[in-house]
Every structure is written in structure tokens, then in C-alpha cells.
Structure 1
Amino acid sequence: MALLNMMFNWKSNATFINRTFTRENIRAMHETMVRLYEAAKTLKGLETPTDVARALNQSQQTVNNWERRGISQGGMLKAQAEIGCSATWLQTGIPPMEAVKQKSGSSQIEEKLNESSGAPAYNVSRLPDPNIPVGSSPARPVYVVGRANGGLPERIWTDGGYLVGATEEYAVLATDDPHAFLTPIIGTSMAPVYNPGDFAFVEPGTEVDLGDDVLVRLKTGETLLKRLLVRRADGLQLGSYGEPGTLFFKPDEITWMYYVAHPVRRKKIKTRF
């Protein structure tokens, strides 16, 4: 079926108006399509709507609709993958035009902290040296960090890259994040996914997306395990699995926010001695 759809789109595009697009003949189009045609010509040397439609494997009707109404979100992601232009740039016009290849680990967080954008950088504590050796196996000991008085320290690591408040307890888990840690789950707001007595597996080197579970450190000293529901320039909204209602915090109320991969049951925890 996928092959039939591809052939249909290709044949439809073969009869598409094969005009070279310029600033003059795209002036009346939706601004996202103006940017798409500009990127297609700059990055791939594509000269006509037919070329762009073929590159994206889209039909004539779809591209015509985009010219009037704007590119769909799926179309922007397709253009980013096939043409190499940034989906954010297509939607907003905010440079750069060319998509930046994603990086992982601490370097990605560092770049997020320093970039200029409308959204604030919530990971405001500097991570230690990302080149800490973690061995060749993805499975390694991940240590528990205590949550005395309901909060973690403002800085999780010392200047030497060691966990602050690390206990003798650990679990052997698969991770490529040298800064991963476990922290006890307190309270029932995130039940039944996260239950008291279990542990949250935190990977600070993973970028946080909407819908992710997160560990948030507030300037008040409180540490919360929640779900990220909304992220805007003026703050973020957090929710729970087991309780109704949401919480909203402004950027200046937050010290850091880290990605939580999944819960770890108590029976998985070992002791070094």
C-alpha cells in the first residue's frame, strides 16, 4: 500500500505546474510555504513546486493546500528530514534555516542554556565534565541520592563530578548518561506509576519533552516529581498521575528540571557493603 501511495504521489506531481518559484510568484502564498521554497532552493537546489512535492513525496493537492493554508506539522517534520530545513524556522521564521543535528548528553543541555529563544532554559545548574568514563557496557551501577527533608541539594554534583548525597545503595541499569541517579519516591501524587518506597530513575542528559515525567527543583528547596504538561516562555505547568489539578511555576522559581526515565522497584536496589 505504501508503494502504491508513493507511485500515486509521483504521478500526480508529474503533472504539477512546473514553474520556477521566485519572490514574485510566491508573494501571495502562506508564509510557511515561502520559507519552504526558499529552503528547498538554498539547501537542495530545487527550483519548482514539482521538485519540492517529489522530494517530500506529496501530491499536487496537498502542496496546493499548503500554499493557501500553511504547511501541516507533519509536513514541516517531513521537510526537516528530507530537505534539511528547521521545522521551527518554517513555522516561525526564527533562524537558523538549516536544521541542527541533535546532540545528546550534557553538551546538548549546555547549548540549550546558552541559546537565544523565547523559551527559558530551566536547567540552570552547570553540569560537570561530560567525559566521565562509564565503561563499555551500557549497564552500570546508578547510585541513590537521598531526599532528606523532602529536597535534593541545589547542585547535584561537586566540582569533581561526584554525586552530592550519594548513598551506599544502587541499581544496575542501562544508561549512557554519566550523571544518571536514583532518588526515593515520597508521597502518592504520582501513583500508581510511581509508588512510595520505589525510586525515580533520573537522566539529566536527556532533553525534556512535553508529557515527560520530570524531577523539578524549586528555589524554595522543594523537589517535585511531576509530569510536564505545558512549557511556555512565562513558565511551566506540571501535573500528577494520582491527583487532580495542576501546578504552575515561573522560570525564576525553578533551579533545575531533569528527565525521569521510569520507576525502579525497591527489590532492584542493592547495597555496596
Structure 2
Amino acid sequence: MTLSERIRTILDETKVEATALAKAAGVTKGTVSQWLTGDIKSIKLEYAVGIQEAYGYNAVWIVMGKGPTKAAIFDDPRPKPVVPPQKKPRKEKAETGEPTPLTYIANVQNYREIPVVGRAQGGLPDRIWTDGDYPVGATEQFAQLASADPQAFLTPVVGDSMIPRFNPGEFALVEPGTEPELEDDVLVRLNTGETMIKRLLSRRQGIRLGSYNDSEVFTFEKEAVTWMYYIAHPVPARKIKSRL
């Protein structure tokens, strides 16, 4: 069963409109339409989690087409640390009849000091890194985080247009080495000097950017954009440390 068929099944069984499903997933109605037509053939786990929480459909089934259609429990199926076997034997887990959760093993060697650079609106330079791999505009603040991008940096979130994904006072983990895809969160620097955190909606006939808590869409010519970087995820302020 394709993603299109799985989304259609949810709409048919719940009798909800595409607009309601889009709100639950945290995407636009246009994205739901593209799921249905097959123009977008995959769905992010975070969107599937929103659908599970609203309508009870198993997020793993929504993303991969595997496992039971309905979630046995309304737990967040996003990656969790592996539970040691002696504390929770595999046999006990099998007897519960619950879907096998996605798991990962955190490698402490991947964690390093990632610097805080400038502000999310203004204050960021045209060029973030020097030829000597020194971050321009780096502050005395940093966070111990895991990132495969050697040029990753953090920037404070300013403004409320990206609530609830990004809240004022939090930080955004930016990974310049990852090419942004449609529906990704991005940090965009304009030739005017303005810098903003937005969602990448389209690259056709210019770069179209949107927000999470309003319907306003911004369209810019490609020449008007100095750079556009992928944002991996938000980082809470309590993770930020200072060398002072």
C-alpha cells in the first residue's frame, strides 16, 4: 500500500477533511493533497505522530506501511534509547502485543561543542564560516549536541511565526551541509540583510517560504537569497552553556 493509499484510508475511515488532517499533522492542506496524488511519496515521522495522536493510526504504519494500522497505545513512536534486556526481557515485550518501537543507541563520541552564532532575525553575517573553518559571529555560548555536520551551528529563535515547532527563547540547530528538501525548516539569509526561520514550501518560480501558525507565504527570487540552510531541530535554552 502506497502512502497515497494509506492517507486515503485514514480520510475515508475517519470521515475527516484534508484540512483537519493537515492541522493534526502540522502541514499545509496542499501537502496532504500532494500525499494523495502521489507527488510526495514519503512522510516525515513527526507528521505521522501528529496523525496518530489525533486519530489513533499507527505512525510506523503511516510512514512505512508496516505493522498494525491502528496504534495499540498512544505513545510517541519516535526513537527512544534501547532498554537493557535485564530490565525488560525481550520475551515480556513480545507478550504485550505492542508494535516494536523504533530505537537507537546514542554514541557519545558524536557529541561535541556546537557554537551559538548571531540571532535568527538580523545579526548573522553574509558568510558564516571563514576559510579556516572559524565561525564568524560566534558567541561565548555553545551546546553539547550530536551532529554529523562539521559546520553545524546554533542560532536563537526570535519571533513567534514558527510556533509550536520553534518557540522564542529556544535555539535552532542549523546544518549547512544538508541540502534542504520541501517541507524542511530552513534558516534563510536575504540580500537585504534580514535572516528568518521558515518552512521551505516550493522552489518553483522562486523560493516560497511559510510559517506554522499563520497562512502568510513569502516568495523570493533565487537571486534575493544569499544562503538557505537546513535546520535539524529545535534545542531548548537549558541545553545552552557559556564559557564565561
Matching residue's letter, 1:196: P
The whole-number CA distance in structure 1 between the counterparts of 2:173 and 2:135 is: 14
Match of 2:163 in 1: 191
| 1:148 Cα offset (Å) | 8.5
The whole-number CA distance in structure 2 between the counterparts of 1:74 and 1:193 is: 21
The whole-number CA distance in structure 1 between the counterparts of 2:39 and 2:165 is: 31
The whole-number CA distance in structure 2 between the counterparts of 1:220 and 1:73 is: 34
Matching residue's letter, 1:175: S
Cα distance, 1:170–1:74 mapped onto 2, change above 3 Å: closer
The whole-number CA distance in structure 2 between the counterparts of 1:222 and 1:213 is: 17
The whole-number CA distance in structure 2 between the counterparts of 1:200 and 1:182 is: 5
1:168 maps to which of 115, 140, 157:
140
For the pair 1:257 / 2:224, whether they are aligned, the reply is no
Normalising to structure 1: TM-score of the pair?
Answer: 0.49
Q: What does 1:211-226 align with in structure 2 at a 5 Å threshold?
A: 211-226=183-198
2:207 maps to which of 236, 239, 243:
236
Could you list the structure 1 runs, at least 4 aligned residues long, displaced by more than 6 angstroms after superposition: 72-75
- Once the two structures are superposed, what CA deviation does each residue of 1:138-189 show, in whole Å capped at 9, x if it has no partner? 1111110012872410000122110001011111111110000000100000
Instruction: Tell me the SS of whatever aligns to 2:238.
Output: helix
Instruction: Tell me the SS of whatever aligns to 1:191.
Output: coil
2:180 maps to which of 204, 208, 217:
208
Cα distance, 1:73–1:212 mapped onto 2, change above 3 Å: closer
| 1:231 Cα offset (Å) | 1.1
Q: What does 1:105-116 align with in structure 2 at a 5 Å threshold?
A: none
- Once the two structures are superposed, what CA deviation does each residue of 1:68-119 show, in whole Å capped at 9, x if it has no partner? xxxx8799xxxxxxxxxxxxxxxxxxxxxxxxxxxxxxxxxxxxxxxxxxxx
Runs of 5+ unmatched residues, structure 1: 1-71, 76-135
Match of 2:51 in 1: none
Matching residue's letter, 2:162: M
Match of 2:114 in 1: 142
Instruction: Tell me the SS of whatever aligns to 1:201.
Output: strand
Cα distance, 1:272–1:213 mapped onto 2, change above 3 Å: same
RMSD: 2.1
2:152 maps to which of 180, 184, 194:
180
The whole-number CA distance in structure 2 between the counterparts of 1:271 and 1:248 is: 37
- Once the two structures are superposed, what CA deviation does each residue of 1:184-223 show, in whole Å capped at 9, x if it has no partner? 1000000111111110100000111000000000000000
Match of 1:9 in 2: none
CA contact (8 A) 2:120 2:158 kept: no
Runs of 5+ unmatched residues, structure 2: 1-37, 42-107
The whole-number CA distance in structure 1 between the counterparts of 2:121 and 2:194 is: 9
CA contact (8 A) 2:121 2:196 kept: no
Match of 2:17 in 1: none
Cα distance, 1:73–1:189 mapped onto 2, change above 3 Å: closer
Instruction: Tell me the SS of whatever aligns to 1:256.
Output: strand
The whole-number CA distance in structure 1 between the counterparts of 2:121 and 2:232 is: 24
Q: What does 1:1-273 align with in structure 2 at a 5 Å threshold?
A: 137-147=109-119, 150-232=122-204, 234-273=205-244
- Once the two structures are superposed, what CA deviation does each residue of 1:24-79 show, in whole Å capped at 9, x if it has no partner? xxxxxxxxxxxxxxxxxxxxxxxxxxxxxxxxxxxxxxxxxxxxxxxx8799xxxx
Cα distance, 1:74–1:156 mapped onto 2, change above 3 Å: closer
**Number of matched pairs:** 141
Percent of matched pairs sharing the same residue: 60
